[in-house]
Structure 1
């Protein structure tokens, strides 16, 4: 490392050799995780190959799971005695603090009952509204005006873009437990380099929606099934700047959303069917990863997962390996869809567009359709009056 100011004389070219990692260095987090994971492996834990921050210990019929995020750790298990023994061994080797039952983790609030688990970011949301001075704003029923199209050349450029960038950055983290705002935040984040007044107005519209639903989150019932269900969708060439399509998918475990994503496609699709087919490929990659995670958790890998798509042509392309004329220009990696269908992992199914949950990730919908699809994703607001 470079010596601190005043340590070396003028003209000297010396460095300091580190014997141990210092807090704040870029290597510190990696060295800490290496030390922690080595200790957990010595305790008998196995490290998940699907998610290296997940550790598992299986003894007879008992199981213990540890999830690590830097120096924040969640421990859960099916045997109280074994769980306490693991916590004691960790405390003996590291300076740790047991803060009890999980209630707050990385800005996510956790509420529990005998039958349900509820995850939300209410405090984080209220902090954003308070910082923006919109705690007294009139609430909105949906996050973005229907069919609104924003570009980087509309409106007056903001004189102070830093506040817009800070706001959108905070909203990005809010999407961790708010899939209903993912599409809007995705649109707003495309104009960080040169935000305009119209972009700020759209961000304030989103804040008005959050004002009406600050405690909205995900309800996880104890009786939910372990059946995976996937929805994928794509708009076609909707971006006015690049004419690229946007991929969106949502994966449910029973009735609980566990994975969702929205991303602009890397190439311009020549048809709606091609855009939908690419969306299916992205969703399948996530389903493949989830199947590996199921195996690491000791669960049976899912088979014939329903994958709902509202485009019949894309379903025909996926099922017909000789549909050459319409697919010869599509990259080879997209044809993972056909491979997974032949292996029996997926069962592509046609769904009406009005019931396509993934529409909420690719389009700015009206109030009625937005509220309908949001209810199908298992999103609840326990803080709202019944």
Structure 2
């Protein structure tokens, strides 16, 4: 619902005078100039917004609503089995209830007190588009993105498949692109628009926008090119949506946190985290930001990321409790892939290498060590990553730090001992480049009748770079072994396995494979279209899991407005 001329409803909180409007001037008895005294708030006054908010707050309190202590824009009312949640954004109000009769009563009460416009079922709110279907709500910003592309002259641009180049730092190092922009206004406007899109509905832009936002004061041509790359990516993914479904399983807050280490120009690390309300549900909160201080180790960087994620987890738990008036979500599963960070969170022992860490990050220990006899903090040893494919992509283990409000679970990580063991075990079966290339070229030959000559030439060029990197000793044994497995999977038409190995290589060995891996990915994609697999059991399993996940995504957003 929308409040008409909202500010004019609120009484003024002090004595203010304004000049008479032009054309309506009235003079005094003796011809003296008169002024008008304000009785209501006026648009343009600094205190008008606060006055309107106070008036609306007093109305909701009078109607027995409770204001959330976590988010003052949220009001709730609980009566037996009935629940009403109201979200306020200046003069826009979203109402959600579990009964239609209560919804009508709320609308009737607001309309009798203020001049309101009923906009019906929610469809647009703050630039976000809501598509309401049976047991499902989709949220995207397609209209907002269209306006962005039109504003910045990118409406007819060529779409890109990634938010940025694979190796962003190398792009910035190109001397030809280091020319500073004479007018940085365009760059700042683009980044500002991208920040809003990233914050509202597009977590896939987090890293890219974080990098762009670090150069607002003196951007160069390279930064502007990267910003336009992000716009091209939005052009190709304009209809991507967050999809919320009614959950069939109990809700539980699950979070993931990670951190880079010293990859920024000032050597500060990047923190990233995200949260969801079920194992297969969409994200409800996400963030990527630069850390405040320089971390001296990966453990310290991950520990600071873990602390930031814990802060967000506490906020989400408190918001959930204030909205639902229940403790159904009272624990948080927070995944972290660093054993050292988990050990610091569990055991408050003074260490020489960690004694300098700011005290503000140690509050996570209090969350882990809550005084609760039934939930004692515990961290189990993490298993080392092994080179065989299924375990590389297995779900995180169940090792955890838990209590009444926080449970920290660790995903698989690579320990130094595991690395040494892997290397020693795999030295016996190191493949040759001729074997791997032979399998890849054989697959390409099977597909070449249906491929364009340009595609074939591109793939062959990447093969040549791959062969040279191998012969020059630039590829580690781990990459060689994984490429051998990928070539075997591709020759046997086990495309899901090949794609998983490709993803693993891009995540763990990007510096070694970035120059030629695009050709391998192209070969996998084309082979998957031209040479269909007959025994792809993995694909069937993934399809079944996808269908199950569609029924397990939580339903969070209000339907009525």
Corresponding position of 1:72: 92
Q: After the TM superposition, which residues 130-149 of structure 1 pair with which residues of structure 2 at under 5 Å, given as runs?
A: 130-149=150-169
Q: After the TM superposition, which residues 1-386 of structure 1 pair with which residues of structure 2 at under 5 Å, given as runs?
A: 18-149=38-169, 150=172, 155-175=178-198, 176-223=200-247, 225-240=250-265, 242-254=266-278, 255-297=281-323, 298-300=325-327, 302-343=329-370, 344=403, 345-352=405-412
Q: Residues 26-71 of structure 1: CA distance to partner in whole angstroms, max 9, x if unpaired?
A: 2111111110011011011111111110001112211111000000
Residues 144 and 184, structure 1, Cα contact 8 Å, conserved in 2 = yes
Rg (Cα) greater in structure? 2
CA distance in 1, matches of 2:262, 2:315: 28
CA distance in 2, matches of 1:17, 1:273: 63
CA distance in 2, matches of 1:312, 1:265: 20
Residues 274 and 286, structure 2, Cα contact 8 Å, conserved in 1 = yes
Q: CA deviation at 1:18?
A: 4.9
CA distance in 2, matches of 1:236, 1:16: 62
Q: CA deviation at 1:133?
A: 2.4
Secondary structure at the aligned position of 1:101 is classed as coil
- Taking a change above 3 Å as real, the CA distance of residues 40 and 304 of structure 1, as seen in their structure-2 partners, is closer
* Higher helix fraction (1 or 2): 2
Q: Residues 253-280 of structure 1: CA distance to partner in whole angstroms, max 9, x if unpaired?
A: 1112111112211111111100110111
Q: How many residues align?
A: 359
Q: CA deviation at 1:243?
A: 1.2
CA distance in 2, matches of 1:323, 1:256: 39
Give the RMSD, CA atoms, in angstroms.
3.0
- Taking a change above 3 Å as real, the CA distance of residues 262 and 30 of structure 1, as seen in their structure-2 partners, is same
Q: Residues 46-104 of structure 1: CA distance to partner in whole angstroms, max 9, x if unpaired?
A: 11111110001112211111000000110010111111111111111111100100111
CA distance in 1, matches of 2:50, 2:73: 12
* Higher strand fraction (1 or 2): 1
CA distance in 2, matches of 1:330, 1:22: 50
Q: TM-score, normalised by structure 1?
A: 0.85
Residues 73 and 87, structure 2, Cα contact 8 Å, conserved in 1 = yes
Comparing 291-300 and 78-87, the one that deviates more: 291-300
CA distance in 2, matches of 1:109, 1:76: 17
Q: CA deviation at 1:304?
A: 3.6
Secondary structure at the aligned position of 2:256 is classed as strand
Which structure has more relative contact order (CA 8 Å, sep 6+)? It is 1
Residues 317 and 323, structure 1, Cα contact 8 Å, conserved in 2 = no
CA distance in 1, matches of 2:409, 2:80: 40
Q: CA deviation at 1:233?
A: 0.9
CA distance in 1, matches of 2:134, 2:168: 43
Residues 135 and 245, structure 2, Cα contact 8 Å, conserved in 1 = yes
Q: Residues 335-383 of structure 1: CA distance to partner in whole angstroms, max 9, x if unpaired?
A: 1111111221222222247999xx99xx999988xxxxxx99x8xxxxx
CA distance in 2, matches of 1:88, 1:289: 33
**Structure 2 unaligned blocks of 5 or more:** 1-15, 26-34, 371-402, 415-499, 522-545, 554-561
Residues 292 and 301, structure 1, Cα contact 8 Å, conserved in 2 = no
